[in-house]
Structure 1
Amino acid sequence: MTANKNKAAIVGGGVIGGGWAARFLLNGWDVSIYDPDPQAERKVGEVLENARRSLPALSDVTVPEEGRLSFASSIREAVEGADWVQESVPERLDIKHATFAAIQTHCAPDALIGSSTSGFKPSELQQGAARPEQIFVAHPFNPVYLLPVIELVGVEATLLRARDVLEAIGMKPLLVRKEIDAHIADRFLEAVWREALWLVKDGIATTQEIDDVIRYGFGMRWAQMGLFETYRIAGGEAGMRHFIAQFGPCLSWPWTKLMDVPELTDELTDMIATQSDEQSGMHTIRELERIRDDNLVAMMRALKGRNWGAGALLNEYDARVAPPLPTGIDKPVDTLRRVIPVDWLDYNGHMNESRYGQVFSDAGDVVMAMVGADRDYIAGGLSYFTVANEIGYLSETRLGDVIHVRTQVLEAKGKKLRLYHEMIRSTDNELLATCNQLLIHVSLETRKSCEPEGEVLARITALGEAQAKLPRPASLRD
């Protein structure tokens, strides 16, 4: 990678290319897009609009500053100086070969060139390439800016470099052990798709009924445990061996038609399209995308609270991108910056009052960490407890608002830590809420108040003395 700011080139700005652009851009990369479609800028802009309201909402820390977006008039212009080039052109091998030839003519020899192909093997993509080892499969899932898994297939040395890049932008790269048509996930999905087509064709279920079986049933299990871990639980105390012994014989029964596929006649196509229109036609595509994104954010944030599956990945990402703790103590401290997620809204369409308490609690945690009352200190049996919060709700806070918290220490002496927080909308600097917070230092062993110890006592004293010189906040003056 270059020593300067990273650059990603996106060749093909459709749904997947736009998703790639959003994932890189919102992780601080500069992004250049090439797509001859005259509508490309509009389409990518709509994808980015959805991404900006959803991807940052997964984080509980300040996310990287957005990179610079540009649209190139040629592949050459797009890929010059790029560290990563992502090809997302139509699934035709001749088009991909021509695209790779143009990319390799103008990109750096050490640039990573990933293909979003869902079906072609890397050996097919590399045919006739100037530097075959440079090209690899990087197959994502829609929306790329939210769903983290990426299937990587190609030369191991190249994939290891690609893995490092993808992990740094919050993704879950899977190195496929052997190249195979359609990789792993799409082969799995193809089996389900074939069976679904038969169920519709034979009049057994409609498109909505099939979707309902998935989203109200096993889909929720798969979302957080996958297939084998789900079946391990189904085996009870005896585990997977018992599950296989109990359900293995049914595999020889003639239940499925997975090795056969119905002919996609005009009649079957019309049947599926009509049922799909009845199921979802009341929503535009953009509305469906936003519904999908909001649901994914809520589900993934729920997993984040349990530190499980995709949620554990998000926690690792937050730890990686979280800014360093503030160091200046002679002025109010910027303690928190974040985006308001969908699961924080109430029935009035704005942030629920309980979430203000969480924002101010998180801001207080930053001050605790500044003085050394961090995880290690807490593990040693000492911490701060909040004993009072006086919150003033001044203006509505809505979905997608970028907010920051400015914190002033009113008292930091002995057992007491009194903080004053202001929550501000970053786009227009409107003051949304205030909080007067009182924390008391406690022993986690006795659950009673006690004096801070060691370095924490020294730091809290210095912080209190420095901030005591500041003017008292206007809302607290008599």
Structure 2
Amino acid sequence: MSKAAIVGGGVIGGGWAARFLLNGWDVAVFDLDPEAERKISAVLTNARRSLPSLYDRALPPEGRLTFHADLAEAIDGADWVQESVSERLEVKLRVYREISRHAPDLLIGSSTSGFKASELTSEGAKVVVVHPFNPVYLLPLIELSGDPALCARAEILVRSIGMYPLTLRKENDAFIGNRFQEAVWREALWMIRDGYATTAEVDEAIRLGFGLRWGQMGMFETYRIAGGEAGFESYLAQFGPSLSWPWSKLTDVPELDDALVRQITSQSDAQSGMRSIRELEQMRDDNLVGFIRSLRHSGTAAGKVVLDHEAGLPEGGDHLGLPITSSRQVPQTWTDYNGHMNEACYLEAGSWATDGLMRRIGVDAAYISSGYSFFTVDTRLRYLAEVHAGDRLTITTQVLAGEGRKMQLFHRIWRGDGVLSATIETLLLHTDLASRRSCPPMPAVADRLAELHAAHAGMSAEGAGGAVGDRG
């Protein structure tokens, strides 16, 4: 079991703790704040309901979380240290001296928002910039900077916990992402100060307009499309001259005097004051989960990062003598107005289990690309117990028939507490994708299916073969 030491348990440190913990690492948190455990528990509550919802496979079992008032105790046996203390260079350097005194060879990742690696390593500590974005447990981007060998080690680590490393070509203040955020932030402050917009109107312009485009395509791909068939050169020729027009005030900084602070605060209260910070965080996380899951479908941007990480998660195993064909957490989007899992989502869960069984017998992406697959022709579903958002599901599959063109499966959906929540009986026919007609499977697939059928033949299948309304 790997161990991460989190030094500093604020919003960012708590996010790091959740990201490591939910990926199976043991986590030791060092923070002298007596409220640290309560604050991180709140972050973990959000993370547990959101991060696993990105995946169609279960994340590893959680690691062990401990809290420490002694730094040496927290870093003892650690494979990685993530420093997330306050953004003051003297504080960070003092922490590095203490870590190096106890573990001189331990690699330290810094969550700094703007200090350069050369500043952080000025006293000889082994530090690399590992700058995340909030919420750390959901957003995948990590900006890396520092010694190339240390960055290479950090790249491997962040990928292993489902994040995307972006290594800076040159060391610079505030890196890449923060410099863009700072530019938009400055312009927003001027618009509020000069009376052009309120905080709500600025946010609407971002989230209903270019923010949606940037979240899935970035800036340059967006502008490439804007150039149309004539290409990027056409776009630059058409809109490039506007860069010299006095539209923005990016080189000026408005004074945050009392009047502007009161103006921003009162507008923000009117915009969002009716919701608590926890409510806003959960709304943000649910929106991000939905957005990132939609990007999974196209395999782009943050969705691709999740898919790449998911491909390395363990799959399979057995439960009660039957193969586990799907294991996952129920996302919020699967629940309805009654607060439990929507009936249509049981079918979706069953379809993932069917895919899992198909992969076991060799009907994988390559097989389907060759022109063959199984098509569902009949399904019977029994709802036996309620399932709620956040419940972990384990689905086992029994092969009831596996001869010729037919494959008959019996899925059992087990809740995390061991309760059988549903069964799904489904009949499929092997199909030629070119003619769209049924046909016998390839010999290797037929043999594997027959083997499973023979292995499951002596097992009971309570509830299979009944009519609608039959609860037996």
TM class by shorter chain equals over 0.9
1:220 correspondence with 2:212 = yes
1:312 aligned partner = 304
2:469 aligned partner = none
2:173 aligned partner = 181
Q: Structure 1's 448 and 476: CA in aligned 2 closer, same or farther, altered over 3 A?
A: closer
Q: Would the aligned equivalents of 1:12 and 1:34 in 2 still touch at CA under 8 Å?
A: yes
Report SS of the residue matched to 1:321: coil
1:122 correspondence with 2:117 = yes
1:244 aligned partner = 236
Q: Would the aligned equivalents of 1:331 and 1:408 in 2 still touch at CA under 8 Å?
A: no
1:103 correspondence with 2:99 = yes
Offset of 1:451 from its aligned partner? 1.4
1:341 aligned partner = 331
Offset of 1:108 from its aligned partner? 5.4
| Residue among 414, 424, 444 paired with 1:455 | 444
CA distance in 2, matches of 1:349, 1:206: 36
Report SS of the residue matched to 1:255: coil
CA distance in 1, matches of 2:448, 2:123: 64
Offset of 1:405 from its aligned partner? 1.1
Offset of 1:474 from its aligned partner? 4.8
1:404 correspondence with 2:399 = no
| Residue among 15, 21, 27 paired with 2:23 | 27
TM-score, normalization by structure 1: 0.95
1:366 aligned partner = 356
CA distance in 1, matches of 2:376, 2:12: 46
CA distance in 1, matches of 2:244, 2:42: 48
Q: Would the aligned equivalents of 1:404 and 1:423 in 2 still touch at CA under 8 Å?
A: yes
Q: Would the aligned equivalents of 2:50 and 2:289 in 1 still touch at CA under 8 Å?
A: yes
CA distance in 1, matches of 2:401, 2:443: 19
Stretch of structure 1 that moved more, 89-98 or 402-411 = 402-411
Q: Would the aligned equivalents of 2:318 and 2:324 in 1 still touch at CA under 8 Å?
A: no
Q: Would the aligned equivalents of 2:6 and 2:84 in 1 still touch at CA under 8 Å?
A: yes
2:433 aligned partner = 444
2:384 aligned partner = 394
TM-score, normalization by structure 2: 0.96
CA distance in 2, matches of 1:108, 1:467: 56
Report SS of the residue matched to 1:267: helix
| Residue among 62, 74, 77 paired with 1:78 | 74
CA distance in 2, matches of 1:375, 1:53: 30
1:351 aligned partner = 341
The one-letter code of the counterpart of 2:194 is D
2:414 aligned partner = 424
Q: Which runs of 4+ in 1 moved over 4 A?
A: 474-478
Report SS of the residue matched to 2:341: coil
Report SS of the residue matched to 2:231: helix
1:465 aligned partner = 454
1:135 aligned partner = 127
Stretch of structure 1 that moved more, 450-459 or 241-250 = 450-459
Offset of 1:396 from its aligned partner? 2.9
Report SS of the residue matched to 1:70: strand
CA distance in 2, matches of 1:331, 1:452: 26
Q: Would the aligned equivalents of 1:80 and 1:108 in 2 still touch at CA under 8 Å?
A: no
Deviations 1:255-282 (A, max 9, x none): 1110001100011001101111111111
Q: RMSD of the alignment, in Å?
A: 1.5
Aligned length: 467
| Residue among 361, 364, 371 paired with 1:381 | 371
CA distance in 2, matches of 1:375, 1:181: 45
Offset of 1:406 from its aligned partner? 2.0
CA distance in 2, matches of 1:108, 1:375: 47
Offset of 1:475 from its aligned partner? 5.9
1:56 aligned partner = 52
Q: Would the aligned equivalents of 2:12 and 2:136 in 1 still touch at CA under 8 Å?
A: yes
The one-letter code of the counterpart of 1:279 is Q
The one-letter code of the counterpart of 1:221 is R
CA distance in 2, matches of 1:24, 1:290: 20
The one-letter code of the counterpart of 1:50 is N
Give structure 1 stretches of 5+ with no counterpart. none
> Percent identity among equivalent residues?
53
Deviations 1:3-52 (A, max 9, x none): xx211100000000000011111111111000000000000011011101
Deviations 1:203-262 (A, max 9, x none): 110000000000000000000001111111111112211111111111111111100011
The one-letter code of the counterpart of 2:114 is G
